[in-house]
Structure 1
């Protein structure tokens, strides 16, 4: 956390443009995201999203810094980073605070979907104002999970795991779609988002036969639940929705029944590796903090890092994280590249990245607490040289949350296994 280059970059082909944005993200994450993430972690869920919360200050500063439009289309001033280079920037943000980095990741989703799949009129209505800054307070959420369908929402198109039902349904009434039902309380950014992508069934019989709508969340008939109090990732607000006869124009259905299986395959191939990237930042922050602490904390007449038992644990943390980084970079670049070209990414690789990385991040955070001892359990954190502070107990809670985020790990492993060939 205190070093300029916290890891050795093994890829020598990264452009200077990408390095510049990576370094910007590193400074923003350490000096801005990390302290705000800690402040939000100590607030109640309601306080964290109330008027005047530092969350909104953070999002406004992130927009000014360009981190809410990293992936903007070229016509709206996109940075032109490759998917691999984009990973470098997002990794730095996640290492500052993974919950806030998730908010940055999710914020443009609606407007990207509309740009890719919506009508020209809808692009002008929604995508253009977001990317140009005309509507700086707009942001997204992706409402997939139903109250009675959690991880299996992602398994609906796996032959051996097909599930039926659905708590959110839509039917066509003349020239309008009518939405009814509920979404679970686990929708990330649901409390602060202005627009949602909503997955629902169209026939009421199977999760595999559905659609994806864009829904303005100030629309009549939309009700939000209270913000969720939870164990970890408390800087990331979550909540749910209910829909009561929400009437939407036909064009607000972005993905219809015929394209839905392909869209959900792509979503799964992208979501799991994206969660892996964000979780990786949590593990990396714990490793860097533990490495710094053990270098100056003296026990038995010498710094902890000079004891062999500590060295073995630090090396395990390092090697596991490097393996996770290599896997996720490759899968992220491949699966997002496939999506960009209209092809399908690998669900097996994405699931492997998420399961391996979230397990790794949790282990690394647990080891960080062991290495820092009783100090690591303090809510006011562990002080490092130079006055920096890191919070091992917060990182452990965040890491645990990632093991069930966007699919519980054991079920994801089964889904990945079903896609082996």
Structure 2
């Protein structure tokens, strides 16, 4: 998929930022499980925290292909930062797409500048792949909603100042899921423990506890019962973002492996001269390119006004599984050096796994693809 001159310029700027500002701090941030806030401020300076905000509110208002390119290049730096950015953009997308004029004016101009950070609260301890099973409830009382429940796996859970929340207005009615905006400092809203994760360790992932949280009725984003369809429509675009991140991560691993193969010598020659290694790199490069093409095709379909549902699921499924394969082979090419933390490929390997899980597992993507094909 050919990029426009402007898109190539954006790609080059973000790649330079990833190489000069993100990659140098990625290992330390992973080890310390600390989000690099200076990097976040740098993204804001590049207008990337307003990527999905309309220009009328100070945003970048990127088309989906540009959004894909940005996600790929930020993930080339480190997936933890790319994930935080994509979730922030999910939150701003929800407000921009479903919010009233007053809601947009209230939240978006500040979120464009990266503060407050956005969070997206859909999953629960007992409701992951099937959000209709959620139990979080928002009861209408006069001109307020009172929220009780627990959300889990919330990226930006500690850092966020704004939470886009999905809750039922009737806990016993699966069709009552509704979307709300909740300020993080609302009374009764507490942050649970920070999860200790295999990868994505610089990104904060927590639960959120809602205990009698009261918000004004004007903070409701969708009509009652329209929240689940809204979530699914937003997540289709989000899957293109995750596929893009998987491509960027895999490209990073491929570049590391290619460089190592050229400098590491065994049996009196670079290991890149050994056919087994050459074939590994050929397979890896093919998977990265195929992933990128699938992902950009899905993005371009959305930009043309076509339904990207199946293409997005294909891209997310293929690119995330390819990222697992490519990072695995990168570790193998590095041998013992790939297994220790002084290099980057073991972190890339750990990070890759989450791309097959969040925003719809690989199994869910195959279910969506099959449904589009057969039903």
**Class of the TM-score when normalised by the shorter of the 2 chains:** over 0.9
Offset, 1:188: 0.9
Offset, 1:73: 1.2
| Partner SS, residue 254 of structure 1 | coil
Q: Among residues 102, 117, 121, which one is paired with 2:83 in the alignment?
A: 102
Q: Deviations over 1:324-376 (max 9, x none)?
A: 110111112323654xxxx8x34333222222111100000000011111111
Moved more, 77-86 or 280-289: 77-86
- CA separation of 1:81/1:273 partners in 2, compared to 1, >3 Å: closer, same or farther? closer
Offset, 1:262: 3.1
Work out the CA distance in 2 between the residues paired with 1:337 and 1:148. Answer: 37
2:145 aligns with 177
Q: Among residues 134, 138, 150, which one is paired with 1:166 in the alignment?
A: 134
- CA separation of 1:119/1:354 partners in 2, compared to 1, >3 Å: closer, same or farther? same
1:380 aligns with 342
Work out the CA distance in 1 between the residues paired with 2:57 and 2:81. Answer: 24
| Partner SS, residue 215 of structure 2 | strand
Offset, 1:80: 5.8
Offset, 1:237: 1.1
Moved more, 255-264 or 327-336: 255-264
1:7 aligns with none
| Partner SS, residue 373 of structure 2 | coil
Q: Among residues 89, 94, 98, which one is paired with 2:70 in the alignment?
A: 89
Q: Among residues 15, 20, 25, which one is paired with 1:31 in the alignment?
A: 20
Work out the CA distance in 2 between the residues paired with 1:236 and 1:418. Answer: 33
Q: Deviations over 1:7-28 (max 9, x none)?
A: xxx62xx333222221110111
Q: Deviations over 1:145-194 (max 9, x none)?
A: 011011222xx4xxxxxxxx42211111111111111111x111111110
Work out the CA distance in 2 between the residues paired with 1:173 and 1:397. Answer: 46
Work out the CA distance in 2 between the residues paired with 1:327 and 1:206. Answer: 38
Q: Deviations over 1:29-83 (max 9, x none)?
A: 111111222111101x4xx26xxxxx22221122123221233312244446432
1:198 aligns with 165
8 Å CA contact retained: 1:273, 1:331: yes
| Partner SS, residue 322 of structure 2 | helix
Work out the CA distance in 2 between the residues paired with 1:337 and 1:354. Answer: 19
1:21-420 to 2 correspondence within 5 Å? 21-43=10-32, 45=33, 48=34, 55-79=36-60, 81-131=62-112, 133=113, 136-153=114-131, 156=132, 165-184=133-152, 186-335=153-302, 338=305, 345-381=307-343, 391-420=344-373
Work out the CA distance in 1 between the residues paired with 2:38 and 2:304. Answer: 33
Pair 1:17 & 2:6 matched: yes
Work out the CA distance in 2 between the residues paired with 1:335 and 1:38. Answer: 35
- CA separation of 1:373/1:196 partners in 2, compared to 1, >3 Å: closer, same or farther? same
CA RMSD of aligned residues (A): 2.0
8 Å CA contact retained: 1:210, 1:256: no
Work out the CA distance in 2 between the residues paired with 1:300 and 1:151. Answer: 50
- CA separation of 1:293/1:114 partners in 2, compared to 1, >3 Å: closer, same or farther? same
| Partner SS, residue 107 of structure 1 | helix
- CA separation of 1:372/1:187 partners in 2, compared to 1, >3 Å: closer, same or farther? same
Structure 2 length-normalised TM: 0.93
Offset, 1:124: 2.1
Work out the CA distance in 2 between the residues paired with 1:144 and 1:60. Answer: 26
Unmatched 5+ stretches in structure 2 = none
Structure 1 length-normalised TM: 0.84
Work out the CA distance in 2 between the residues paired with 1:268 and 1:72. Answer: 16
Offset, 1:270: 1.9
- CA separation of 1:37/1:167 partners in 2, compared to 1, >3 Å: closer, same or farther? farther
